[in-house]
């Protein structure tokens, strides 16, 4: 009886080895948690969330630029590529093959092979209407994406286009771009003219300089087709912006642009035209004048009664 009691109240002297409470050092747990946490931070930083840019090979244009060589012909080539990707690649493609319904190819295009003046005129003045490229008919409109670039940047882009994807047509110099720009801007107002003009008149010059008319129409009345855009498949008119925007709101919108145009048929193709982000291209003074011009477009005497 006394033996039984004893065995119930105290451990067996010959019991096998048992796990101690703490075999894993506390610092390993801490380290594991820390690594898990840092891993989560890494994914958060690099995942891009739901941004479609997540599949781009670089996290930012700045990072891409930092990888580029800093001098020589390779630097010029890299600069051309960076500017091309930012301004042209969205429609013409990183591979220069173009996109159906958006932009014709630049590889094997007779327009790229032509003389520099003909080629440079396209980004400087824009291109609107029917054109044949590599045996196919296209009928679209392109804003003068190069109008806001410096001569040397545009020369780098054109050189990149003429020397990439199997193209071998030679480099373009900044002086050549400068000459074409001067020819196009022959009747653009001089600095002295601009100083004499009212803000609305200067704004009209800005509207022409940056080719807003390419999409919004010569009188900003819109109507340029934009297939599958929710806005009745056309680029909107601008003559009523005074109704819907304050000056600050309008300037902010022009600076920001609108990359994703709502689609009429959500399952349909992306509308070819979108509002570029003009902030880095148009100066603040020009934007101020441009807004003055756009706000002046509202037809006089029209009153909606609210």
Partner 1 sequence: MRMNNKFGVFLGVAALALFGAGVARADDQLDAETKARIDRYEKGPATIDVSKYPQAIQDNYETFSQKCAQCHKLSRPVNCDYVLPDEWSRYVKRMMHKPGSGIDSADGKKIYEFLTYDSSVRKKAMLDDKLAKLSPADKAAAEAKIKEVHDKYDNK
Q: Angle 174-184/151-162 helices, nearest 10 degrees? A: 110
Place of tokens 């020369």: 155
Quick check: 141 and 129 in contact, CB under 8 A?
A: yes
Task: Report the residue number, 49 or 67, with the smaller CB distance to partner 1.
Answer: 49
Decide if 205 contacts 194 (C-beta within 8 A).
yes
Backbone angles phi, psi at 137, to 5 degrees: -90, 135
List the one residue from 111, 165, 169, 240 that touches partner 1 (CB under 8 A): 240
Residue 26 within binding range of partner 1, rule CB under 8 A: yes
Build a one-symbol-per-residue string for 276-305: x at contacts with partner 1 by CB under 8 A, - elsewhere: ----------------------------xx
Nearer to partner 1 among residue 146 and residue 272 (C-beta): 272
Contact in structure between 104 and 138 (CB atoms under 8 Å): yes
Number of residues that bind partner 1 (CB under 8 A): 31
Q: Which of 133, 174, 245, 288 binds partner 1 (CB under 8 A)?
A: 245
Q: 158, 231 in Cβ contact below 8 A?
A: no
Enumerate residues 148-207 that contact partner 1 by CB under 8 A: none
Asked if 54 is part of the footprint of partner 1 (rule: CB under 8 A), the reply reads no
Residue with tokens 């039984």: 4
Integer angstrom CA distances of residue 229 from 54, 165, 233:
25, 32, 4
Q: Please choose, out of 1-9, 185-193, 201-209, 231-239, the segment that lies near partner 1 by the rule CB under 8 A.
A: 231-239
Closest CA to 249 of 199, 283, 291: 291
Identified binder of partner 1 from the candidate list 49, 50, 55, 67, rule CB under 8 A: 49
Q: Do 126 and 214 contact (CB within 8 A), yes or no?
A: yes
Q: Rounded to the nearest whole angstrom, what is the least distance from the CB of residue 131 to partner 1 in the complex?
A: 26
If one asks whether residue 234 binds partner 1 (CB under 8 A), the answer comes out as yes
Residues that bind partner 1 (CB under 8 A): 26-27, 30, 33-34, 37-38, 41, 44-45, 49, 51, 222, 230-234, 236-237, 240, 243-246, 256, 262, 264, 304-306
């Amino acid at each position: 009886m006394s033996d039984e009691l004893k065995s119930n109240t105290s451990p067996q002297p010959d019991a096998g080895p048992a796990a101690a409470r703490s075999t894993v050092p506390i610092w390993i747990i801490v380290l594991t948690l820390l690594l898990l946490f840092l891993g989560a931070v890494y994914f958060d930083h690099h995942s891009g969330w739901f941004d479609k840019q997540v599949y781009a090979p670089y996290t930012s244009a700045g990072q891409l630029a930092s990888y580029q060589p800093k001098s020589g012909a390779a630097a010029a080539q890299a600069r051309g590529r960076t500017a091309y990707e930012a301004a042209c690649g969205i429609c013409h493609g990183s591979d220069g093959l173009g996109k159906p319904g958006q932009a014709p190819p630049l590889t094997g295009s007779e327009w790229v092979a032509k003389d520099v003046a003909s080629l440079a005129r396209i980004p400087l003045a824009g291109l609107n209407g029917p054109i044949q490229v590599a045996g196919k008919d296209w009928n679209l409109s392109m804003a003068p994406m190069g109008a806001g670039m410096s001569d040397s940047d545009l020369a780098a882009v054109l050189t990149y286009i003429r020397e990439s994807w199997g193209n071998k047509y030679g480099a373009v110099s900044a002086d050549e771009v400068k000459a074409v720009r001067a020819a196009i801007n022959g009747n653009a107002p001089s600095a002295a003219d601009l100083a004499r003009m009212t803000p609305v008149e200067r704004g009209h010059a800005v509207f022409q300089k940056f080719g807003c008319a390419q999409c919004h129409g010569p009188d900003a009345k819109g109507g340029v087709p934009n297939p599958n855009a929710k806005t009745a498949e056309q680029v909107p008119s601008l003559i009523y912006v005074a109704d819907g925007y304050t000056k600050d709101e309008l300037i902010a919108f022009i600076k920001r642009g609108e990359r994703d145009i709502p689609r009429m048929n959500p399952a349909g193709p992306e509308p070819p035209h979108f509002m570029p982000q003009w902030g880095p291209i148009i100066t603040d003074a020009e934007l101020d004048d441009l807004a003055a011009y756009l706000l002046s477009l509202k037809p006089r005497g029209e009153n909606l009664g609210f």
